[in-house]
Structure formats: C-alpha cells, structure tokens
Structure 1
C-alpha cells in the first residue's frame, strides 16, 4: 500500500475517533460548567407568562442617523428592532440569544430628525430552543402628541448555553463552543397574546415550507467584479476641475453642442412624463436622469467592514441588526448609481442568517440593482464573512431591499431601467416582478391588520379604576 493512502486512512480513522469521543463527552462537559443564573440564587422555570418578556425602548432620531433629506436610515430602525427583540428573547430564556431569521419588514411611514421612536417587543411563542419575537415601531413628532405607525417585524432567536467559556484549550474543545439550550414554555394570558401565540405557529410552518432560491451564480459574478476579474460597465471617473484648486479654467470647446444635446434630452423627458398621466412624477429638473437604462453591472457596490467589539453581543457574535444596517448602506450605494435622487428604503424581504460572524472577522457586503420599476427598485444584497486568522470565507446571508426615489417634495422620480448582462442577472431580473407582487400584498395585509387592531381597541370596553 502506498504511504499516501496509508496516511489518508490513518487520518480518517483518527478524525472519526475524535468525533466519537467529543460526541459523548461534550454534553457531559457542558453540564459540569456552572450556570451563572443558578449561581446567583435563582431557579430556572419551565414556563413563563408572555408579558414577562415585554420591553419598550424609546429613541430620538439624531441628524447622524438620517440621510441628506432628514429621514432616518432604515438600517438604524432595524438595528433598534434587533436589539429590542434580542432583549425580549434573553429576558424570556435567561440565556444569550442570537438572531436566526427576520421576516419581511415593510415601512409604512418615514421617521424624521427629532422624532421620538417607540419600539415595543415581546416573545410571541417559544419552541424547544427557539423563540419568535414580535416588534412594533411607532413614532411621534416632538411638536405633536399624535403617534403614527412605522413598521412591524417578526424575528426568530435561538437560545445558546449560558455557561461560561472554558479556560483551557482542552476545555474549549470539549465544550464545543456555543450549544443550543431549551427555553421555557410561553404562557399567553390575554386575548391578544393568545392570538399572537396562534399566528406564530402559522408563520413558523410557512418559514419551514418556503424554499429559499439559490443565488450563488450572481454572488460569484459580483465576487468577480469585486476582484477585478471581469470587466464592469463603469469606467474610471473623469477629472473634474474645481475653482478652489484651479486658478483659471477654460470652457469646454463643445459647450454649445452639449447644450443642444441637453435640450433634446429634456424634450424627450417631458414627452415621457406626459405619457404617464395615471400617476404624478417629479418634474424637478435636478432629478432629470441622463440615461434611460443602465447595465446591471454599473450598479454593483461593495462595502467591507471589520467587526469590532461594539458590533457584537456578549458572545462576540455580530448583531443581526448591525449586519442589516451595513446591508442597507450597500443597497443605497447601488441604488444611487442607478438614479440620482433622494432615496428611501420601503421594505426588506425576509432574511435568514445561515452562519454567524464574530469579532475580528471581515464582513464583505455586495449589492446590485436586480430590477427597477417606475420609481422604485429592488436591490439584491449578499453578505460573506472572512476569518483573517484561518483564511476561511463563509456566506452568511442575503436579501432584497426595496428602495424608492423621490424629490424635495416627496414626489416619485422616474428612474432608469437596470439591464442584466448575463444569465444569472436575467434570472434575478425575471423573478423581480413576482417578488414585487408579494411585497405589495404583504403591505396591504399589514395595513389591514393594523387598522383592524385599532378598531378592536376602539370598540373594547373601557376599564374604570377606582
């Protein structure tokens, strides 16, 4: 037998033996580690009332959290949603909990600088080691006492072992890092809690039955664009002379011809706007788009971030809300390459976190406009994490952002068409129409649900306190 085959067989037997030993010893070793909750004099229970996990956060929108139009970034709101839901999950499980998935999130009203935002979260239902947390976001102006509904979200969290990390190398191997643990059963008491409890199981079955499409091909194309292995549609930026750096400058020799071309383009834009009589669109000349369509590769954007301790939870795992905020930044960059206007995030499709990233990892986010409509566009965003110590790169999650373009008066702006350049791009483009119909239906259902809830609250008998 050749020595290489002998070494390979030996390594295979050795790895199987190690896995067998760890499979037997890890659960035992985990139980030997102290539980900080029990050591503090508390007793773990098998069931908890739903209202115990309820939490209310209040935030004030600052200018640093807003775009140039003064509207808060959706990533900021998503970050608060994730934190509030995480606190509610930890309060119910009394264990570190990490985000597993986020259902579709639709924003029904923008939030401006100075607005007071209220985020309410509570656990709707718990299973063996996972929980669904419902989050409601409302806001009010500091100059008015009227509240308005902003968004609603459902997040799934998984509880991990609360036992401390082992101090030795052997102990860390035997403890196997993060292990899922059982969480208390949730006991709904009120009518609304029972309703949320029943609906949570329906949503859970829908998550399991939904088969997520594989977009690996377009992710490979974006990675090649990132590494310069494929020619992209855009070229190097031209040199723009600025009077602050140039003592004197000359006008373009073809300036008169350029003016004539601009007048022709303006006439074409006016004709296009006149044809779209069914809906009002912006006629602000500053929002005039120079091109009617752009290649999909032109909208490619990339954001690279280093995960710092402030971006992670107590287990050094990156906050799901932080990942979503970085995803929105990348999506905004892609959208702005397609259209020059004010941008607002209208919705985020459901996100499933396949793997997690941690402190010290490099997170790379890539995005591209998958399809554009009259005044809105769908942006596909993918995320991968790289461990610089081991060189391991892993795909963490992806999702679709819906972004709208408006002018100063919040009137929709007609945006160019995003044209696919390859087969993966066409697959992404063709699925955009069905995904848009799904979002519109879900938005309508959310509006009806909120209106029905308000009607029930208005018709409920008042309780007079003596």
Structure 2
C-alpha cells in the first residue's frame, strides 16, 4: 500500500519522466560566446604577484629565465582571453632582454594588457618587476611583446589525432581611453609592420638552418646508439678491498673519502678549461610529453611551456661548453610555426653556435611527434644568449667555439650580426627606462659604462 502511494506520487510529480542521457548532451552544439565589436583596453589589463620560491630557482637561488617567460606567457594569455573571449594561442614572441635577476624571496609583479587588436590577432605587452619583501624597493626585470590569435573551440570531443585545426575568429577592436593606451596602440602598429617586413627574412634564415637541424638529428642518433660510459665511479660504489684500513689508519674509509670529496668541490675556484671546444661537444637533446596542465582548453600547448623547455636544453649546451654558472641574458624573436597538442612528444635540440668573451649564443630547435599517428613535424626554433658568471655573479671568460661541420660555419659567421642587433635593442630599452625611471637605472648604466 505504501509502495503504491509512493509510485502515484512520483507519477503526479513535476519531475521529468525521462532524464536527459549523456548522449543527448553531447549532440548539442556548443553555444557561441557573445563577443562585442569593440572593448576598452583597460578591461584586458591583468596583474599578478608571485613569490619566488626555492622550487622556482636553481642551486644559486636565481629564477631561470625560462620560468619567467612561462609566467609572462600565462599573464599575456589571460589578457588576450579577457579581450577576445575566445581561447587564444601564442603566435610569436618578440625579443626579450633580462636586465635584473630574480632571487628567491623576491616578489614578482607581472602586468599585462592588450595594446592593439587587428582582425584575428592581438599584441599583448607584459612588464615584469621585482620587489624586495623587506625594503619594498622595486627593480625592472624585463618586458615582452607577444602576439596571440583567437581560435574557435570547434568540436573539442574529437580525438587529437583526427582533430581539424581550429579556425581563427574575429576579435574586438581596442578602444584606448588614456594617452598612454593611445601611445601603446601606435607603437604596437609599428612593431607589427616591422614583424611583417622581417617575416620573409626570418623564413629565409629558417630555411638555411634546415641543414643544421639535420646534422643535430644525426648527432642525436649517434648519442642514442652509444652504450659505453666514461662516468667516474664514486668511492662508495667501488670494491671495498681498495679501502681496507692499514695499521689502524682510517684514512681509507670509503665513507670518509666520499664525504671529503663532497666537501671539497670547487671551493670557490673553477676547474681549468681548454681554450676552445667543438660545436658537437655542446650538443644536447631533451624530450617531454605534453600533459593537460601544459595546454589550454583547446589542448594546444602553452607557448611559455615550449620556451621553458628550450631554455632548459640551451642551458645544458651552455654548461657543456663553458663549465661555468650561467644567466639568461636574452632570447631572440620566436615564431611558432605549428602548434603541439596534449599527448604529443616534444623533442628539443641545442648547440652553442658562437661564443664571445663571456657570453654564449645557443641555437635551439623544437620538433614534435604525434604519438597516435607517428607524424613528426618542426614547430619552432630560436637563439638564446647566456652569460657565464663566477661565484659572485660577475662575467667570466668562456672557451672559444670551433665549428666542426660545414653546415655550422655559416651559422657561426652570422652570429656577430645577431649580437650587434641584440646590443642595439638592449641599448634602446635602457634609454627608454632611463627616461621614465632614472633612479632605477642610474646604478645599472654606471656599471655598464665602467671599464
């Protein structure tokens, strides 16, 4: 009787007789977001403050430039998404110069905003400053200009292996409300015209580097076929008979020898290095699987994550050549030719292309493989500049680089022109910051001009 009353109550209730199935929800097309035709520039402004933790830094307590660039890309992507509403991907990154290192404990203030938008692309400007947590003094670290493209989500339920590329969508026009925003919009247009004029030159240079990338693939194959190792065996792993105590003397105790060796590493003096090294000796390769946390809602990899992988590989090459501590000074402009997705295997290769007194130029190439289809493709490449420093973070000389392949000679000979371009860009940044923040750059410029 009670069961019959319960069933009757269910029949007369306002609940639907049939709940929607999971299949019914998947058949409904995604709703298109409402995007206005124009938006004020201030709505895209994004500010974030981080604390440099030990997990972000290297063994000396300095935050690597690749980590900073990944933060820059995330902040710029947030501004682009705020303005465009649609998901956005990094198309290119202009040259970035690092003026001040970030140490553990520093507060990192990152400010980004959209400077100007065109049909489907936007330029986002990012400024990074550090603040001492005790004194409150701020220092300028770097600035960056990134180009983003807005994409329609499409059908995100299709597997990555068979997914068609997302199509670009029109983004709102920028409305500047202040004199500074108007000035940024004008400069953004000039930078865009400069990118367009240099795009053909960049493509020609990229084609020239095809042979170098082929040589790097060959070196990777040789490295993967090696089975012998010249790694030194630590005392604790050697035969115990070699450390038998004689006449009650415990100096040969393996534990004491091992600990003594650990305490006496370097002690403030770098080991001697040869006058020159071959380019092939600096070759390095690393691989990484793109995970969901490395990508956006379209499963396209963050550009900042790719740059971070490139910097890590570049550091390995620079360490192999210099055997010194290293600081990232700058990266040249980067263009992402083809995106990578979640599940792809990204392979990064690098070599030291040229050296100067204390700086090294490293060429880095990135390739990816779709592990479902087996397709391999080139994604992007670029040049990183690093400075070798001593225990007090002062510049120290590095061995000269010697090309040992004909394909590398042209890359070596053209390095001086690239260096002159970087120095000019760095000088322009210093002059600009000196005019707007003279007290901040007074000490920095005096150091640069001192003999």
* Shorter-chain TM band: 0.7 to 0.9
d(CA) in 2 for partners of 1:303, 1:91: 34
Is the 1:289–1:415 contact (alpha carbons within 8 Å) kept by the matching residues of 2? no
Aligned to 2:83: 92
Aligned to 1:187: 175
d(CA) in 2 for partners of 1:105, 1:239: 37
Q: Mapping of 1:180-259 within 5 angstroms?
A: 180-210=168-198, 211-212=201-202, 213-214=205-206, 215-228=209-222, 237-246=229-238, 247=240, 249=242
1:341 to 324, 342, 354: 324
Question: Per the alignment, in what secondary structure is the counterpart of residue 100 of structure 2?
Answer: coil
Aligned to 2:69: 78
In the superposition, relative to structure 1, how do residues 450 and 167 fare at CA in structure 2: closer, same or farther (>3 Å)?
same
Question: Per the alignment, in what secondary structure is the counterpart of residue 227 of structure 1?
Answer: helix
Is the 2:63–2:101 contact (alpha carbons within 8 Å) kept by the matching residues of 1? yes
d(CA) in 2 for partners of 1:168, 1:62: 37
Is the 1:289–1:416 contact (alpha carbons within 8 Å) kept by the matching residues of 2? no
Is the 1:66–1:72 contact (alpha carbons within 8 Å) kept by the matching residues of 2? yes
In the superposition, relative to structure 1, how do residues 241 and 177 fare at CA in structure 2: closer, same or farther (>3 Å)?
closer
Is the 1:303–1:364 contact (alpha carbons within 8 Å) kept by the matching residues of 2? yes
Is the 1:374–1:415 contact (alpha carbons within 8 Å) kept by the matching residues of 2? yes
d(CA) in 2 for partners of 1:293, 1:339: 10
d(CA) in 1 for partners of 2:360, 2:217: 22
Aligned to 1:383: 366
Question: Per the alignment, in what secondary structure is the counterpart of residue 434 of structure 1?
Answer: helix
Deviations 1:77-113 (A, max 9, x none): 0000000000000000000000000000000000001
Is the 2:76–2:126 contact (alpha carbons within 8 Å) kept by the matching residues of 1? yes
Is the 1:303–1:330 contact (alpha carbons within 8 Å) kept by the matching residues of 2? yes
Task: Report deviation, 1:231.
Answer: 10
Is the 1:35–1:162 contact (alpha carbons within 8 Å) kept by the matching residues of 2? no
1:300 to 276, 283, 290: 283
d(CA) in 2 for partners of 1:137, 1:231: 44
Aligned to 1:418: 401
Question: Per the alignment, in what secondary structure is the counterpart of residue 269 of structure 2?
Answer: helix
In the superposition, relative to structure 1, how do residues 285 and 414 fare at CA in structure 2: closer, same or farther (>3 Å)?
farther
Count of aligned pairs: 384
Deviations 1:369-405 (A, max 9, x none): 0001111100000000101111111100000000111
In the superposition, relative to structure 1, how do residues 230 and 114 fare at CA in structure 2: closer, same or farther (>3 Å)?
closer
Query: In terms of mean alpha carbon deviation, does 78-87 or 138-147 score higher?
Result: 138-147
d(CA) in 2 for partners of 1:352, 1:135: 17
2:31 to 31, 35, 43: 35
Is the 2:156–2:298 contact (alpha carbons within 8 Å) kept by the matching residues of 1? no
Aligned to 2:5: none
Q: Mapping of 1:290-439 within 5 angstroms?
A: 290-439=273-422
d(CA) in 2 for partners of 1:376, 1:165: 45
Task: Report deviation, 1:240.
Answer: 1.8
d(CA) in 1 for partners of 2:45, 2:392: 38
d(CA) in 1 for partners of 2:350, 2:114: 32
Normalising to structure 2: TM-score of the pair? Answer: 0.81
Say whether 1:53 aligns with 2:44: yes
In the superposition, relative to structure 1, how do residues 149 and 168 fare at CA in structure 2: closer, same or farther (>3 Å)?
closer
Question: Per the alignment, in what secondary structure is the counterpart of residue 166 of structure 2?
Answer: coil
Task: Report deviation, 1:228.
Answer: 1.5
Task: Report deviation, 1:142.
Answer: 1.5
d(CA) in 2 for partners of 1:319, 1:366: 19
Question: Per the alignment, in what secondary structure is the counterpart of residue 37 of structure 1?
Answer: coil
Deviations 1:150-182 (A, max 9, x none): 00000000000145536799xx98x94401000
Aligned to 1:154: 145
Aligned to 2:98: 107
Cα RMSD after superposing both structures: 2.5
Task: Report deviation, 1:453.
Answer: 2.7
Is the 1:36–1:163 contact (alpha carbons within 8 Å) kept by the matching residues of 2? no
5+ residue gaps, structure 1: 1-31, 39-43, 251-282, 458-466
Task: Report deviation, 1:448.
Answer: 1.1
Question: Per the alignment, in what secondary structure is the counterpart of residue 414 of structure 1?
Answer: coil
d(CA) in 1 for partners of 2:101, 2:58: 11
Normalising to structure 1: TM-score of the pair? Answer: 0.78
